[in-house]
Structure 1
Amino acid sequence: MPGKVIGLALKAARDAEAKGFSSETIISDLAEVLNAPDDYLEDPTYGAVAAELVKTRSKTVASSYDLGNAAPYRVWGAAGIEAGALEQMKRAVRLPIAVRGALMPDAHEGYGLPIGGVLATDNSVIPYAVGVDIACRMRMTVFNASPIVLDQKREKFRTVLEEQTRFGAGGEWETPRDHDVLENRLWHEHPAARQYRDVAWRQLGTSGSGNHFVEFGALTVTSEIPSPLGRIPPGTYLALLSHSGSRRFGLEMANYYTKVAMQRHATLPKDFKHLAWLNLDEEAGAEYWAAMTLAGLYASANHAVIHQQIIDALRLPVLGGIENHHNFAWKEIVDGREVIVHRKGATPAGQDVLGVIPGSMTA
């Protein structure tokens, strides 16, 4: 065991003893840290020991990376994409886990993978290729009403928006809303997610900040849309559109597991550090995948609460609606093999897949 780890372990033992821990407990705790350091990265007593163990392990497991071979990828609208985003995509497809890539025409720089980037990887997930707002999404509700009512009752619609959601980075409800998603067992069982259930509850039905919004507008349908939320025949309708994600919960999961991934791959070159990945066969990778999945369910519930509150306030009949998400990773078959497809600020667009993109997908 490296000398620095031993020194940190001795210091942690002294700190634990000062807190009243018995010698037997300290020895047992240090053995557990040695066996599973990823589980103790945030521990106030043993966190430094765990971090050094992970760092040491990374140097052993990932002493070198083959970053010279690029996986095939396509770029749409390259002439209009900023140089930084193009360079980020070039780096992403050089990862040893990269299988395929794509860059959308409204892409711009992000952390690791550019926003508007799509990356397929081999049995690995990159937290920052999913994004910091996990499962950010769009939802549109189409009312059986003419958009003319917006001009007729503009103040009413403004008031409904202001009263039925909350905006701002820390926005939350004094009286939290309820939804079945809060009963998911992962809120109690997941080692990283469980501490954020209460804040997730308070923020359920809120919109956050940045480019997130809830807004009314006019939707023109030229041919029937058999949406999952109801059939929408041709016509021009009043529509409600929202854009937001998994709020603080998603942000915390993204940052925590990115830190774990960076420690796991500490020897990656500086330009690649935000592309650090987690293998899905390892504990940390499985944990992140579970947290990402829960964030997806939560983000969907968040939009559902916002829309239902507005529907109830307006008392207008609903024809149907569309929902789709980005900032997520999917297991898909590409070239006959299962891969992990990351879409960061990019909307799934497979055959017969309904989606809505609000002018720019720079989310």
Structure 2
Amino acid sequence: KNLHGKAWAQLGTSGGGNHFVEWGIIDFAERDEVLNIDKGRYVALLTHSGSRGFGATIAGHYTKLAKDICKLPREAVNLAYLDLNTAEGQEYWIAMNLAGDYASACHEVIHKRLTKAIGAKVLAKVENHHNFAWKETLNGEEVIVHRKGATPAGEGVMGIIPGSMTAPGFLVKGKGEASSINSASHGAGRLMSRTKAIQSITKSDMKAILKDHNVTLIGAGLDEAPMAYKDINKVMAAQPDLVDVIAKFEPKMVRMADDGSRED
């Protein structure tokens, strides 16, 4: 309850780090029956953000609680956990899911505000969580699957795999590959740490690549420069057994926090 004010104040915001809001063009090579979208090119809005300070506070509180309850050797202290058969575990599970719902609400508010501002008609919407935990059945047993930096890719499950501010993102459909725990990559992944990117990439480098790709950028630090990320096309080529590509998204206008802050 004491987080209500913070949650309300940050509702509909993206936060820092690699969180973004992008307008672009999405290309469907063929009709998709699930989304009821015909073959063609469409204006699309893509957002990446989380549960903001609300979720971060929840995570911090229960991480400390887990370390207090689950005593592990120093080298394994960050692997502390809460048993779901305890009151603390159930309390965290409820709080985590509430944070997930809040993150979803943030996306919904951002999308509604922007589509209303330009008078757009929404034809389809796809959303997926990451950095989250799910109850799933694997090999006939109910387990908790934590996808850190991974996208759910169960059979028929729609997902989004972004590249960078100048590289394409992909709308995908999962194939349900059990050996990958029904998961695929969350994005391209970093090629450089934030520190290395800031030290090795110049503002002129950034401006040049944005110009080459005809991308308008608002905000963002050098730590989020396209060169700091892996080649998304190579990443996608490495996981054809995990997902099918439904459509390709090309970013054209990108908004990010401009202070190089950590994601929240």
TM-score bin (small chain): 0.5 to 0.7
Is residue 321 from structure 1 mapped to residue 125 from structure 2 by the alignment? Answer: yes
State the 1:272 CA deviation. 1.4
Q: 2:3 aligns with which of 196, 209, 219?
A: 196
Q: Determine the structure 1 residue equivalent to 2:101.
A: 297
Is residue 232 from structure 1 mapped to residue 37 from structure 2 by the alignment? Answer: yes
State the 1:235 CA deviation. 0.6
Q: 1:214 aligns with which of 9, 21, 30?
A: 21
State TM-score, norm by structure 2.
0.61
- After superposition, the Cα gap between the structure-2 partners of 1:206 and 1:226, relative to the gap in structure 1 and judged at 3 Å, is farther
Q: Determine the structure 2 residue equivalent to 1:272.
A: 76
Distance across 2 between alignment mates of 1:264 and 1:225: 49
Look up the equivalent residue of 1:218 and give its one-letter code: I
CA deviation profile, 1:176-200 (whole Å, cap 9, x unmatched): xxxxxxxxxxxxxxxxxx1101110
Is residue 261 from structure 1 mapped to residue 66 from structure 2 by the alignment? Answer: yes
Distance across 2 between alignment mates of 1:336 and 1:248: 37
5+ residue gaps, structure 2: 164-186, 190-262
Distance across 2 between alignment mates of 1:351 and 1:269: 39
SS in 1 for 2:15: coil
Distance across 2 between alignment mates of 1:223 and 1:324: 22
| 1:76-225 alignment, distance < 5 Å | 194-225=1-32
State the 1:318 CA deviation. 1.8
For these two proteins, the number of residue pairs brought into alignment is 167
| 1:311-350 alignment, distance < 5 Å | 311-350=115-154
Is residue 243 from structure 1 mapped to residue 58 from structure 2 by the alignment? Answer: no
Look up the equivalent residue of 2:51 and give its one-letter code: S
Look up the equivalent residue of 2:12 and give its one-letter code: G
Alignment check: 8 A CA contact 1:345 1:361 kept = no
Distance across 2 between alignment mates of 1:272 and 1:226: 47
Alignment check: 8 A CA contact 2:19 2:49 kept = yes
CA deviation profile, 1:87-136 (whole Å, cap 9, x unmatched): xxxxxxxxxxxxxxxxxxxxxxxxxxxxxxxxxxxxxxxxxxxxxxxxxx
Distance across 2 between alignment mates of 1:324 and 1:232: 19
Look up the equivalent residue of 2:96 and give its one-letter code: M
Structure with the greater alpha carbon radius of gyration = 1
Instruction: Give the ranges of 4+ consecutive aligned residues of structure 1 lying more than 6 Å apart after TM superposition.
Output: none
Look up the equivalent residue of 1:317 and give its one-letter code: K
Alignment check: 8 A CA contact 1:200 1:249 kept = yes
CA deviation profile, 1:137-195 (whole Å, cap 9, x unmatched): xxxxxxxxxxxxxxxxxxxxxxxxxxxxxxxxxxxxxxxxxxxxxxxxxxxxxxxxx11
- After superposition, the Cα gap between the structure-2 partners of 1:226 and 1:195, relative to the gap in structure 1 and judged at 3 Å, is farther
Look up the equivalent residue of 1:200 and give its one-letter code: A
Distance across 2 between alignment mates of 1:323 and 1:336: 27
Q: Please tell me the root mean square deviation across aligned C-alpha atoms, in Å.
A: 1.4
Distance across 1 between alignment mates of 2:101 and 2:70: 29
State the 1:286 CA deviation. 0.5
State the 1:274 CA deviation. 1.1
State the 1:293 CA deviation. 0.7
SS in 2 for 1:240: strand
Is residue 286 from structure 1 mapped to residue 94 from structure 2 by the alignment? Answer: no
5+ residue gaps, structure 1: 1-193
- After superposition, the Cα gap between the structure-2 partners of 1:226 and 1:300, relative to the gap in structure 1 and judged at 3 Å, is farther
Q: Higher helix fraction: Structure 1 or Structure 2?
A: 1
State the 1:226 CA deviation. 4.2
Look up the equivalent residue of 1:331 and give its one-letter code: K
Percent of aligned positions that are identical: 53
Distance across 2 between alignment mates of 1:346 and 1:361: 11
CA deviation profile, 1:197-230 (whole Å, cap 9, x unmatched): 1110111000100000001111111122345xx5
CA deviation profile, 1:288-332 (whole Å, cap 9, x unmatched): 000001011111011000000001100022211211110111111
Distance across 2 between alignment mates of 1:291 and 1:321: 26
Q: 1:355 aligns with which of 153, 159, 164?
A: 159
Distance across 1 between alignment mates of 2:142 and 2:55: 25
